[in-house]
Structure 1
Amino acid sequence: MRLTTKGRYAVTAMLDLAFHSQKKPVTLTDIATRQTISLSYLEQLFARLRKAGMVTGVRGPGGGYKLSRAAIDINIADIIAAVDEPVDSTKCGGKGDCQEGQPCLTHDLWMGLSDQIRSYLKGISLAEILEREHVTEVAQRQGQHVEHVVNIQKQEKLSA
């Protein structure tokens, strides 16, 4: 199974949102800066996440995004599915037409692996990942880095 950038970025952005939106909505610009993900790419991902009912947009000053439901109720498999990322280890995309329209010798093996991966990811919520000590440390460090970058940009504007 190969998880593409789309799936990895969606999970990363949702984790960032879950960590930082506890006090106020989070802008995509902030997520893009903290996670070094293109803003335009995030906009595409969040359109899909919004359509899937995972995030809610807040308009106006102080607006941004927040989770539509509790982090404990959002699992990783659903995030990946929301951005149209298949969790599939087969060559045929699970259709069973891998070899001249018929299943190949290893089709059932790879289908079983896909099912195991899907089950594993379905069993992990955003909240569970947020509780991991390493994740909390990284998120806090990234938040401090963003504040530092913003302060530098403000100083540059004042100097100009």
Structure 2
Amino acid sequence: MRLSTKSRFAVTAMIDVALREDRGPVSLAAISVRHQISLSYLEQLFSKLRQQGLVESTRGPGGGYSLSRNAEKITMADIVGAVDAPSDEEAAAEGGWMNSDLWASLNEKMLTHLQSISLRQLVAEQRTKGVTVEPAPAPAVKRGVFAKPKSTLKITAPNSVFALAGTLMPSRG
């Protein structure tokens, strides 16, 4: 297991999603703006996170990503393993030096430690540090072609020049 910029960005993005889990799906564009991470890079990361069953996507307006299971059941090792899993070629290349007892022991200890840290704990640490989540936007009022007006306006003024003249001239009769 290795820790890289890719895994750091993935953990940061997952904390962001978990902080906002009660608000519905979180868009990658919003995460990109908040953390200055390239949108295309986030798309690659979330593709891997989705394949590993850590997030689920919602399409369409208001869509984005949400956690696929409780944050307590997602560990840092799950996130790092999803985005930084070595390819078959890399695993074969590492096989020579990872056979050393020292490196194997170090890798096992790091994996055990990362498995002991839940996403829920990471979110709690952020809240303890004072990280706040912006309030949810007010739902937009939907108005379409067939929307019924909220109140009807009663017009009592004359609707033409002739009707206006009729109100100004005394009736003959």
Superposition TM-score, scaled by structure 1 size: 0.73
1:122 pairs with 110, 115, 119, which one?
Answer: 115
Q: Secondary structure at the match of 1:139?
A: coil
In structure 2, the partner of 1:111 is: 104
Distance apart, 1:78 and its partner CA: 0.7
Greater radius of gyration (CA): 2
Give runs of aligned pairs for residues 10-159 of structure 1, distance below 5 A.
10-85=10-85, 93=94, 95=95, 97-98=96-97, 107-132=100-125, 135-136=126-127, 137=129, 139-140=131-132, 143-144=133-134
Aligned length in residues: 128
CA distance in structure 2 between the partners assigned to 1:121 and 1:84 by the alignment: 13
Contact 1:19-1:139 at 8 Å conserved across structures: no
Match in the other structure for 2:142: none
Q: 1:85 deviation in Å?
A: 3.8
The answer to which structure has the higher helix fraction is: 1
Task: Calculate the aligned-residue CA RMSD, in Å.
Answer: 2.1
Going from structure 1 to structure 2, the CA distance change for 1:9 and 1:35 (only over 3 Å counts) comes to same
How far 1:10 moved relative to its partner?
A: 0.7
Give aligned-pair identity as a percent: 46
Amino acid aligned to 1:81: G
Is residue 53–residue 68 contact of structure 1 (8 Å, CA) maintained in 2? yes
Structure 1 runs not aligned, ≥5 long: 87-91, 148-160
| Amino acid aligned to 2:9 | Y
Provide TM-score, normalisation by structure 2.
0.67
- After superposition, give the CA deviation of every residue in 1:95-152 in whole Å (9 maximum; x if it has no partner): 2x23xxx95xxx21121111101000001100011112xx124531xx45xx9xxxxx
Structure 2 unaligned blocks of 5 or more = 87-92, 138-173
Structure 1 counterpart SS, 2:18: helix
On the 8 A contact 1:58/1:64 being kept in 2, the answer is yes
CA contact (8 A) 2:56 2:67 kept: yes
Three-state SS of the structure 2 residue aligned to 1:40 is helix
Task: Give 1:52 shift.
Answer: 0.6
